[in-house]
Each structure stands twice: as structure tokens, then as C-alpha cells.
Amino acid sequence: MIERKYVEYELAKGKKDICIVCNCKNAETLNTFLCSDVRPFEEWIKSDFDKVLSGEIISKEISGNVCCAEINFKNTKIYNMLIEDDDEYYETCCEVDTKELRQLIDEWCDKVREFKMSITTKPPHRQA
């Protein structure tokens, strides 16, 4: 199982955001995929994973803002497309069990929604 934690942080002008920090081999690539690609493209990425896991298709290659993923029934390989050096590109590949990754995607998307709700329902902080 991939260990992970969710970290809330503050951006400029008091805005807040959330990120995921996974603990696995080449976790930085997985973290980038979840934050930069899954977050904005949640529905179609989930749909492609579901098609592979249901057996509708054998495999699927997807590309997002930063990462590309080779989804197969057993494992998914995630690559950071911004890495220009071929050796580093393959060395930083993160290979994850596809079913576990699909569950992690659901969990991550739920956490993002919960976070967004929490920051929109909090009253503004007033200084005395």
C-alpha cells in the first residue's frame, strides 16, 4: 500500500491549497501526476482507468499537463514529460498497481473536494 499524507499550505495573499505526498519509489512523479493531471482532468482519467480495469480495453496511454501514464490491468507506469534527459525520464518512472492507483485517485479527488468545501465555508479571519 502506498503511504501518503495530505498537506495544506498557504499561497500568496492568504490563499490556501492542498497537495498529496506519497511515499513510494519515485513518489515525486506520482505526486505530480495526482496534482497536475488528475486534479484538473479527473473525470476522463477515471474513465480511462475504469475501461482498463473492467476489461473493456487492454491498455490505455494518457497524457496530461505534466505526466503521461501507461495504464495496464496489473500496473500503471507514470512518466514526467517535462524531463528532457532520456535516462532520467525512465529512471524517475513511477510504477504502481493499477487498482491501488485507481483507489488513490478517488481518495485524492475526495480530499480535494473536502478541502475546497472547508475553505469556502470558513468565515473570513478578522484581526482585532
What are the pLDDT digits (tens) for 39-85?
999 999 999 999 999 999 999 999 999 999 999 999 999 999 999 99
Query: How confident is the model at residue 101, as a pLDDT?
Result: 98
Confidence category of residue 122, pLDDT binned at 50, 70, 90:
low
Query: How confident is the model at residue 12, as a pLDDT?
Result: 87
Query: How confident is the model at residue 121, as a pLDDT?
Result: 72
DSSP string, the chain: --EEEEEEEE-GGG-EEEEEEEESTTHHHHHHIIIIIITTTHHHHHHHHHHHHHTSSSEEEEE-SSEEEEEESSEEEEEETT---HHHHHHT-EEEEHHHHHHHHHHHHHHHHHHHHHHHHSPPP---
> Which residue ranges make up each domain of the chain?
3-121
What are the pLDDT digits (tens) for 94-118?
999 999 999 999 999 999 999 999 9
**Cell numbers 495530505 correspond to what residue?**
6
Of residues 4, 7, 69, 84, the one with CA closest to residue 37: 69
Whole-model pTM? Answer: 0.88
Query: How confident is the model at residue 124, as a pLDDT?
Result: 57
Query: How confident is the model at residue 16, as a pLDDT?
Result: 92
